[in-house]
Amino acid sequence: MNVERLWRAIKKLEIRGAPAIGIAGALGILLAVKKSPAKTGKELAAELRRAAQYLASSRPTAVNLFWALERMECIAKQNIAKPVSEIRKALVGEALLIIDEDKKSCRAMARHGAQLVKTGDTILTHCNAGGLATADYGTALGVLFEAKKQGKRIKVYADETRPLLQGARLTTWELLHERIDTTLICDNMAASLMAKGRIDKIFVGADRIARNGDAANKIGTYSLAVLAGYHGVPFYVVAPLSTFDFTIKTGAGIPIEERDAEEVRTLMGKRIAPRDVKVYNPAFDVTPNALITAIVTERGVFRRPYTISLRKLIRLRKVRTGKK
């Protein structure tokens, strides 16, 4: 494994899910500095900077990547006067800390979120926000795992999540593994279930949340949020502090990755549409804060108006990272 291979793994979604991408970024920095011939802290920091810029170019939306790379860069800068071996050690420590924090925050989010789940609830989720997207329990799925562990009887509908079918491939697998009553649907079937009153709550993850609570997540999330609002179904976003981008005022500032047309024109190698048809393939959409009932974080459940409630998180983030 080298940095180029890791870049490709993120780009091609072999590693995906906002928190997992952050962790991969930190580990990518370790790969870069491990084989570095740098003799001084300054040389190592320069090398680290190049690797960070390169890794940051893999995917533009999930902010956890930039957040983790920044943390690694900070450590290098703080220790720049020390011998290279010391800096390497500090970087390993920071990467392990990022993983450990993600594990702990998964468990904390799950505990806070599970309070919102009642026995008998039928819950809809989109894409994969589980153990395969984080270092541990997952974000949205972690909430469901915890609710189940607490003995709550729940039923889950999983959107298949076109084009890359993370829901069909990953989420159903994780839910079945935890012996949760799981039903797979195509994305366009969710509204019909809501109209029949068969969905009590929706839980999804996020890839970047702006200062006002607007949340970017896998394409199709915004659609669900509008439908949830129309049908009076509570809509919850579950994400750790590392998914918030307090430098961005609203969701309009979140860059949305557009991916290759072949992801839509083919499916697992099979052609499903004319070769020459144009395709629009955004990987994410932005759900405005007004459609989000609450945001579940490792620091508790935040509700509207988010511009006020999220201030507590901004303060926490400053304390933890020494910057905004």
Please give the residue ranges that form the binding site for a second copy (CB under 8 A): 157, 159-163, 165, 168-169, 172-173, 176, 181-193, 195, 219-220, 222-223, 226-227, 229-230, 264-265, 267-270, 272-274, 276-282, 285
Omega before 37 cis (within 30°)? no
Residue type, 208: R
Buried b (16+ CB within 10 A) or exposed e, 296-311: bbbbbbbeeebeebbe
CB of 144 to a second copy, least distance (A): 15
Which CB sits closer to a second copy, 227 or 292?
Answer: 227
DSSP element (H, E) containing 238: strand 235-238
Give the angle subtended at the CA of 250 by the CAs of 64 and 241, to the nearest 5°.
30
Which 3 state secondary structure label does DSSP give 181? strand
Which 3 state secondary structure label does DSSP give 219? coil
Which CB sits closer to a second copy, 160 or 207?
Answer: 160
Q: Is 207 a catalytic residue?
A: yes
Omega before 83 cis (within 30°)? no
Torsion of CA 134, 259, 55, 140, to 10 degrees: -10
Of 102, 207, 214, 245, which is the active-site residue?
207
Tokens read off for 179: 């012996």
CB of 216 to a second copy, least distance (A): 11
Which CB sits closer to a second copy, 90 or 226?
Answer: 226
Which CB sits closer to a second copy, 219 or 239?
Answer: 219
Least Cα distance to 18 among 294, 259, 215 occurs for 215
CB of 320 to a second copy, least distance (A): 33
Which CB sits closer to a second copy, 102 or 159?
Answer: 159
Which CB sits closer to a second copy, 86 or 181?
Answer: 181
Strand-pair partners of 135:
none
Q: How does DSSP classify residue 269?
A: T
How many other C-beta atoms can be found within 10 angstroms of the C-beta atom of residue 102? 25
Q: Are 84 and 92 in contact (CB under 8 A)?
A: no
CB of 57 to a second copy, least distance (A): 24
Q: Is the dihedral of CA 21, 26, 30, 32 positive or negative?
A: positive
Please list, in sequence order, all residues whose beta carbon lies within 8 angstroms of the beta carbon of residue 173, skipping any fewer than 6 positions away: none
CB of 198 to a second copy, least distance (A): 9
Tokens read off for 12: 């091609």
Distance (Å, whole) CA 135 – CA 105 = 10
Which CB sits closer to a second copy, 222 or 306?
Answer: 222
Catalytic residues: 207
